[in-house]
Amino acid sequence: MDAILQKESLGRWIAKLQERGEVYAPEFVEDAWEFTKVERGASVELDHTNTVLPAKGFVFPQREVLYRFRIENGKTPELTDTELSVKPMVVFGVRPCDGRATVRNDRVFTCGVSDPYYQARRDSVVFIGLACNAPPSPNCFCVAVGGSPCSEDGLDVLMTDLDGRYHVKALTDKGRDVVNAASDLFQAATAADRNEVSNAQVAALEYPQRSISAMDLVVAALKRNFESPLWDQLARTCIGCGACTYLCPTCHCFDINDEVTSKSPLTGARVRTWDNCQFPDFTMHSSGHNPREDTGARLRQRICHKLLYFVETHNMQQCTGCGRCITHCPVGIDIVRIANVMEEGVWQ
Amino acid sequence: MVPVDDIRARARDLLQSGKVRAVLGYRRGTAGLLAEPAFMTTAEETAALVLDPTCVENLALYLVNEKKRMKHARQSDRRPLGIVAKGCDSRAITVLLQENHIRRDEVVVLGVSCEAGGMVDTRKLNKALRGKVATQVRFDSEGDINVSHLGGSTTLPARDVLANRCLECARAYPLDADFLFGEKVEERPYGPRFTAVAAFAETSREERSAFWDAHFERCIRCYACRAVCPMCYCDECVVDSTSFIVGPTTTADEKADRVRWINRSATRSENAMYHMVRAMHLAGRCTDCGECERVCPVNIPLRLLNTMLEREALEMFQYTPGLDAEQPSLISSFRDGDPNDFVR
């Protein structure tokens, strides 16, 4: 199902959706784009470059309360808030790389054993994608990892900017629902419109992106180079912060802690927070031994998880080419260069 | 103009003669406009060395990181490290010397003067170019910055695109260098130190509180600010959940009962606590290299916190860190005349 929305009607569509729940869209805050809640009547212009934080936080927030507890001496412990209730949410302006990231996060959190917290959010959030006409970041490389600037994967709706109007394609039941909620705002898409979408898609693919020269060889190259001194060379300048993985749309490691608010009675919350394989304490054993004791081992883990282990397990890269880890690395560590270096076996 | 060829020649000479085990410098990266830090271990590699307004990183950090790395290395080369250092970076080295974290003979400083220039702030550049991607920047003969970008080039006043710390820099050349490249320019065409924090301090308490609340709300605790800071060299940090107390002899009860000063959750109160602890630990030690602010992915203006404390150190104790390796550090010294009316 596809339709046409005039750009001046976007605000009215958003207003209609706000009657049912919260709406989020990219906003330029402090010199950078981030997803923020759209206030009633606020105008939204979908002309953003990549947001600093990906859309994963809507389904996998940095902090999730799993339940609250209260334990009093001699009494049965009480657990509350054991189930998550999520308000319906619509997120506008999700780039196709973040959409493809959702497919990967679904693999992790819902296949086999389903994570109820992730699932509850996933069921309540509608992702409205925006196809990229020009690459939204200088470090975009979605094509190199099997994606495309107009990929529909993981999205509920895909919008394509057609100069003055949007082509809006609903891809899932949730997507059809949000379009039908304001059906009077949309016009039927004509063959000419669809033709224009195809042209935009062809043009988008022609924009230069960063490239990985032999992606099909990278898996074998990473296996071959597991013990290579290249890793230490590549990671020699790594400062060991966690910007790359916290900004990654597919990194999903977490930690669980009890946050105690009083000792007697013992009250608090069991909380899940993002964790980060680039931090030294991520793999620290209680014995004090750390199997990934230097930045070389930790960088290898991050790159191999994205481009080797996930491919072996799920037959797809866990990297969607958004380029955030490159753009925001304080010292310019670059997954595209690393993939090329590993395949060629030399570092210049 | 700082003669880059001279720096390359000196770096090459140091490596060829075996006086240093590596030279830390800058070279072109692949990730974007900024130069990237490089460990050069062979004379050939020094051909790639660059010095321009994109060499923002404070390489003094790697003196600290290398010390940690060497502690665990099975074999270690104990020759000194050569390091390219701007004025602010060299003051950071001096603080490390003041604190006896490193020894002077462990490092060969290739000091570079920023002269009347400085380093670009990519955020200002992005804003000035309205989304065009800069590919190269250089100072022109007028002292303005010439920016090449995809589809053309433009010239912008340096004041509009230099990092704030460079605009406020009082000593844009190294005081303690084994080799100095460029002129020691004393007069700079920008503003005095503490311009930004002085303006901020004029706002009301309520405004400042709201300002920091909003910023700390957005912190994701990636710890890039901590990781990039050469002064944050503690082996254990109060915010880390495991390294703080766990050792081979730590019992399960001790682990369960340990005091957690800061929860892992990236909530406003925990984030504020983290940033306050870090700011206080840098008082009288921060040399204003501005790296914490630069690396923050969510653009928290961290420099305001540190320069506020440096302003206090100057006003109350006439102290500026990083000027003299022989001078005792602010926190470890006491003079009879020091103000003490805040002690209750």
Reply yes or no on whether the pLDDT at B255 is more than 70: no
What separation in angstroms does the CA of A106 have from each of A115, A123, B270?
Answer: 10, 11, 30
Whether the pLDDT of residue B257 is over 90: the answer is no
Chain A: residue whose CA lies nearest to B262: A259
Model pLDDT for residues A50-77, shown as the tens digit of each residue = 999 999 999 999 999 999 999 888 899 9
pLDDT of residue B25: 98
% residues pLDDT > 70 (chain B): 94
Show which of residues 90-149 on chain B sit within 8 Å of chain A, judged by CB atoms: 123, 126-127, 131, 133
Q: Are A230 and A221 in contact (CB under 8 A)?
A: no
pLDDT at residue A347 in the model = 63
Structure token pair of residue A47: 């002309």
Say how far apart CA B19 and CA B12 lie, in whole Å: 11
Tokens of B251: 């019992």
Amino acid identity of residue A168, one-letter, is V
pLDDT higher than 80, residue B344 = no
Flag if A53 and B265 touch (Cβ within 8 Å). Answer: no
Kindly give, in sequence order, each residue whose CB lies less than 8 Å from that of residue A20, ignoring residues fewer than 6 positions away. Answer: A88, A181
Residue B69 binned pLDDT confidence (cut-offs 50, 70, 90): confident
Interchain CB contact of B251 with A (< 8 Å) = no
**Tokens at B124, concatenated:** 């200002």
B70 touches chain A (CB under 8 A): no
Give the pLDDT score at B266: 95
Report pLDDT for A90: 98
Pairing label, strands A63-71, A78-80: antiparallel
Q: What is the length of chain B? A: 344
Averaged pLDDT, B132-142? 86
- Mean pLDDT, residues B32-44 taken together: 96
CA distance B14 to B42: 10
Q: Does A326 touch chain B (CB under 8 A)?
A: yes
Tens digits of residue pLDDT in B45-54: 999 999 999 9
Average pLDDT in the A143-149 region?
96
Token pair belonging to B20: 């240093």
CA atoms within 13 A on the CB side of B128: 22
User: How long, in residues, is chain A?
Assistant: 348
What's the pLDDT at A49? Answer: 87
Cβ burial, residue A314 (10 Å; 0-12/13-18/19+): middle
A230 pLDDT above the threshold of 70: yes
Q: Does A339 score more than 60 pLDDT?
A: yes
**What are the tokens at B73?**
């290395």
- Quick one: pLDDT band at residue B131, thresholds 50, 70, 90? low
Question: pLDDT > 90: what percent of chain B?
Answer: 72
Query: pLDDT-based confidence at B241, cuts 50/70/90?
Result: low
Residue B127 confidence (pLDDT): 84
DSSP calls for B210-235: HHHHHHHHH-----HHHHH-TT---S
- Distance between CA B119 and CA A34 in Å, rounded? 26
Other residues' Cβ atoms within 10 Å of the Cβ of residue B195:
14
By Cβ distance, the residue of A34, A239, A326 closest to B228 is A239
The answer to whether residue A348 scores a pLDDT higher than 60 is no
* Nearest CA distance, B7 vs chain A (angstrom): 20
Angle at B122 between CA B116 and CA B125, to 5 degrees: 80
Residue B282 C-beta-side C-alpha neighbours within 13 Å? 30
Dihedral of alpha carbons A302, A304, A309, A311, sign: positive
A279-A280-A284-A287 Cα dihedral, nearest 10 degrees: -160
Distance CA A231, CA A97 (A): 27
**Nearest CA-CA partner of A121 in A60, A172, A174:** A60
B300, with CB counted inside 10 A (0-12, 13-18, 19+), is buried
Distance CA A37, CA A21 (A): 11
Per-residue confidence (pLDDT) for residue A74, from 0 to 100? 86
Is the minimum CB–CB distance between B250 and chain A shorter than 8 Å? yes
* Domain chopping of chain B, boundaries: 1-187, 192-330
State the pLDDT at residue A29.
82
Instruction: Please indicate whether, in this complex, the C-beta atoms of B265 and A336 are within 8 angstroms of each other.
Output: no
Average pLDDT score over residue span A104-114? 95
Tell me the ipTM for this assembly: 0.93
User: How many angstroms from the chain centroid is the CA of residue B172?
Assistant: 14
* Per-residue pLDDT at A265: 87
Q: What angle do CA B82, B85, B91 make, to 5 degrees?
A: 115
Q: Is A140 exposed, middle or buried (0-12, 13-18, 19+ CB in 10 A)?
A: buried
CA distance A124 to chain B (A): 23
B206: Cβ–Cβ under 8 A, 6 or more apart, which residues?
A: none
* Ranges assigned E (strand) in A95-252: 125-130, 157-161, 165-170, 186-188
Q: In Å, how far is A120's CA from the nearest CA of chain B?
A: 21
CB-side exposure of A122: number of CA atoms within 13 Å? 21
Q: At which residue do the structure tokens 């004509």 appear?
A: A190
Helix (H, G, I), strand (E, B) or coil at B86: coil
First to last CA, chain B: 53
Q: Given a cut of 70, is residue A257 above it in pLDDT?
A: yes
Nearest CA-CA partner of A212 in B230, B182, B181, B30: B30
8 A C-beta contact, residue B91 and residue B171: yes
With 80 as the cut, is the pLDDT of residue B196 above it?
yes
pLDDT at B47: 97
Both tokens of residue B45?
């590699």
Among A328, A338, A341, A347, the strongest candidate for a mutation testing the B interface, having the largest count of B CBs within 10 A, is: A328
pLDDT tops 60 at residue A204 = yes
Please report, for residues A340, B44, B145, the alpha-carbon distance to residue B53 in angstroms, rounded to integers and kept in the order given: 28, 24, 9
Q: Which band of pLDDT confidence, cut at 50, 70 and 90, is reported for residue B76? A: confident
Q: Is the pLDDT of residue A287 over 80?
A: no
Q: Do A241 and B228 count as a contact with CB atoms less than 8 A apart?
A: yes
Burial of B135 by CB count in 10 Å (0-12 exposed, 13-18 middle, 19+ buried)?
Answer: middle
Contact (CB, 8 A) for B308 and B316:
no
pLDDT above 60 (res A303): yes
User: Do B137 and B125 contact (CB within 8 A), yes or no?
Assistant: yes
Contact of B69 with chain A, judged by CB distance below 8 Å, is answered with yes
Is A48 within 8 Å of A28 (Cβ atoms)? yes
Over residues B280-323, the pLDDT tens digits come to 999 999 999 999 999 999 999 999 999 999 999 999 999 999 99
pLDDT of residue A226 exceeding 60, the answer is yes
Between chains, do B131 and A336 touch, taking CB under 8 Å as contact? no
Confidence of residue B151 (pLDDT cuts 50, 70, 90): confident
| H/E run at residue B38 | strand B35-40
* Residue A149 clears pLDDT 70, i.e. is over it: yes
The token pair that represents B305 in the structure block = 């916190």
Task: Give the N- to C-terminal CA distance of chain A in Å, as an integer.
Answer: 50
**pLDDT > 70: percent of chain A:** 99
* Closest among A215, A214, A206, A106 to A156, alpha carbons compared: A106
Does residue B200 register a pLDDT over 70? yes
User: What span, in angstroms and rounded, lies between the C-alpha atoms of A320 and A323?
Assistant: 8
What's chain B's Rg over C-alpha atoms? 21
Question: Looking at the partner chain, which of A257, A271, A331 has a beta carbon nearest the beta carbon of B57?
Answer: A331
